[in-house]
Every structure is written in C-alpha cells, then in structure tokens.
Structure 1
C-alpha cells in the first residue's frame, strides 16, 4: 500500500531530496559524514542535464551539489538490498564525470567528487555503518591513485560503534522519522532535519507534487502489466507455431533467457 506524504520516513527518496534541497541542512549532513568544514553548498547548474542523462537508465539524482571549491557531492537514498549497488556507484561516477567536462576538454577540469549512498541495509554484512572506497594499488596499498573520486556507503543496519553519536542518531532516524524518535535524540543534526521534514510535509504544493508522481508511477506499473501480458501471449503463440527460442527472442526483441522464463 502506498503511503501518504505525511507517512513517509526519510528513507523515501522523494522526501529525502526535498529535505536536502535546504542548503544548510545538506551542508550540515555532509560535514558530519565527511568530517570536514564546508563554507557553502549550491545546486550544480548541470542538474537538469544529469537528470536527463541518468533517467535514461531509470535513475535520478537525489542530491547533487558543489561547494566553494567546486567539489561535487552526490548523495542518494537506497532502500531494499541491491546486489548491483557497486555497479550503480560506478555508473553514477561515470555519468557525473561526463557531465563535468565536454568531449576533448582537459581531464584536469574533473572536480574532486564524493558519491554517498545512504542505505537501509548492510550490503557487505560486516556490521559497519560506514564503508569508504578509494582506488588503491593492489600490489602496494600504500600507493593511492589520487583520482579524487571517493565513494561512501552508509547503512542503518550497522552494529559497530564506528560513527559519531549524531550520525548514528541520523541513521536510526532515516527509517523512523517521527516526533517520538526525535524526543530521544541528543544532537542537533536530527533535530534540524526533523524541523525541515515537518515543513516539507506541511507544504501543500509538495503534497500535490508527490500525489502527481504517485499517480504517474501507478500508470507506469499498469502499462508494464499490460505490456507483459501482450508479450507473454506473443511468445506463447510463436512457440505453439513451432518457432525456436532463438527465433522468438529475435521476433520479440528480448533475450533467449527471457523467452525461456516466460515459457516456464
């Protein structure tokens, strides 16, 4: 069952993106995660270009900002365990880099970047709340590639005491963004985020936008069901007429594996 806007937790990427559109909130969260000081953040001008580029693969950036040094920060909320998360990180990095420089331009124009995934699952099942990745030489791990690209995976299911109290409170809040949860927090990070969450949920225009997107998603799901039924009928018809799996795959423009799955 679909939730209303007021029932959403911060783990929902729609709510997360709306809350993080507040530059001060976004800056505070980045500072806590990276343990650095940032003077200011602003939306990247190429945001719409990136949206279009990534939506072609069914992906849209949640948070895409840069600081006073032109360092790029991309923060994404991820729900449901995805085995392909490392490849998704790679795709995001490549797409952002392509958007930062035009063909033929000097690679030195590539900005330092951080891609941060906030997950409601532990991808590696090691109990950590934070996993940080940089390119290191396998033969000599004292040698860093220094490509200035860093990827961080945070998760709310960690069991180690490996982060600051404020970040641990934040990760717990991600899946339970209620007034009751905030009563027990001590740090300011979650309190500030919760104030913004309440503002977003009380904004009528945001609620209209959310309902519109929800309806659009329902329509796409229904269209997908109808297309699936038609495809199944076509595959069965071709199979009954004596076509081979290879012929059916070519005729339906799908893989042979998909044909076998439908026939089974």
Structure 2
C-alpha cells in the first residue's frame, strides 16, 4: 500500500485544513471568527465562488484559497496554515494569495481603482518571526516616513497560537488555545467543537474524506516517475478496505473506488 499517510477521520481537529474548511462553510462561524479577530461588526458575508473554499479540486496545480468571502465591501481570506515552512515562505504565500484575490476581482470586470480592500488572515499553530506575539498585522508603510501609509487596501494578518504576549482579546485567545488542543473555553468555541463532533458522525462527509485520502495518495504517488498505475490501484484498494471495515455498502465502495464488485469481494476476504 502507499506509504503516504494522513490523519484518520476521527482524529481531525480545527487545525486540520480539511476540517477547518468544513467548519467555516457555516456562515455563523466564519462571520463571527472574522469579527472577533478584527474586532469589528459585519452586516453579512457571502462566499465568493464556493468551489474556491469548499469543493476540493485535486486536478488543479495552483493553491486554493481556504475561506474566501466578502462582507461590507471588503474581501476576506482566512487560511489555516498547518505546516511551518518558515517565515519567508509564509511571506511569499501571502503575496501570492493577494495576487490571486486581486486578479480574481479584475477578472470580474473591476478596474484597478475599483479594487476592494482585502484582508488575508493566516492562522498558524506555531511561533512566528522569532517573536512571542499572538498577532502581527502588516500594511504597506513608507520606510522613510513611518507615518505615511500607501493605502492600497491590502492587509495581511498572521495569528500564532504559540504567542505569549497579552495582545489579543480573550475570545481570540480562546480560539488560539483551542488550536493548541485545549478544551473549549467559551460558548463560541464550544459551538465549533460541537460542530466538529457532529460533522464526524455525518456519513457523507466521512465518505468524502475517504475520497480525499485516496486522491491525496494518488497525488503523492504521481510525483514519482515509476509505479503510478500500480500506486493508484493500491490506493483504491486501501480506500476500499477502509470502507469495508466501516461496513459501507458495496455499491458505494464501487462508486468511490471504481473497483469491480469481484475485486471488492476478494478484498473483503482478507479482513
């Protein structure tokens, strides 16, 4: 079987990109999280091209935005940055995400002067910039005159759950603590935690995650020059075995693995 491993469905938490997206597709959680982080009130939000947020497209080579919404004429992008690639890589990623947002706006017919303010928020379960802050906000400032701001409408915010400074509101700190695996400390976090628990009991979401696992294994194996076809077959069989262990219907297994009923029956005998 493929050596590529990702977390079992039952072990997913808010810091896992897949689960974060599922939770944030609930408007009440997404809106309130933005409001808490920015200490603002938003009348309403709506998702910009939902597939950029929640429909995972594995055939794309580009980076997909996690939570891409707009509210009160401002565009928001929230990213759960699971892996620590280093501060420089994170800076480049923020630059790339900004370009994606701007190009998407221009593709919709906007003129340069009509580009809306945008705020990119990175949620990081690791320390940042060799500092101890929880929050770092960046805008374009003149180096020669720090009182002069460019006002290009672009803001990038990095939140670290490993910060030690007293620099965020208690409800934001509660969310960061939750990212660290601490128990839900307020009503908002308890609601999110309950949502995750309920999501894990959803049969369709579980099947979707199994498909995601298979696609991730395939993508991993496709990175190697040899054994691609064999790797894909093994990935399909591993997914079928996982679904058999969960007593899922054979027709459903055939649909998501593209294996024959005969092959699935053979695999069932190995359990």
- Shared fold (TM-score, shorter chain, > 0.5): yes
Matched residues in 1 for 2:56 and 2:111: separation? 24
**TM-score using structure 2 length:** 0.75
Q: In the alignment, what sits opposite 1:82?
A: 85
Give the drift of 1:203.
1.4
1:9 corresponds to 2:13: yes
**TM-score using structure 1 length:** 0.77
Pick closer, same or farther for the CA change 1:167–1:48 going to 2, 3 Å: closer
Q: In the alignment, what sits opposite 2:115?
A: 110
Alpha carbons 2:52, 2:64 under 8 Å: kept: no
Secondary structure in 1 matching 2:107: coil
Please show how residues 1-264 of structure 1 align to structure 2 within 5 Å: 1-45=5-49, 47-48=51-52, 56-67=60-71, 69-83=72-86, 84-102=89-107, 105-176=110-181, 181-182=183-184, 185=185, 187-227=186-226
Aligned length: 222
Gaps of 5+ in 2: 229-271
Give the drift of 1:25.
0.6
Question: Alignment RMSD, CA only?
Answer: 2.6
Q: In the alignment, what sits opposite 1:254?
A: none
Matched residues in 2 for 1:190 and 1:158: separation? 19
Gaps of 5+ in 1: 230-264
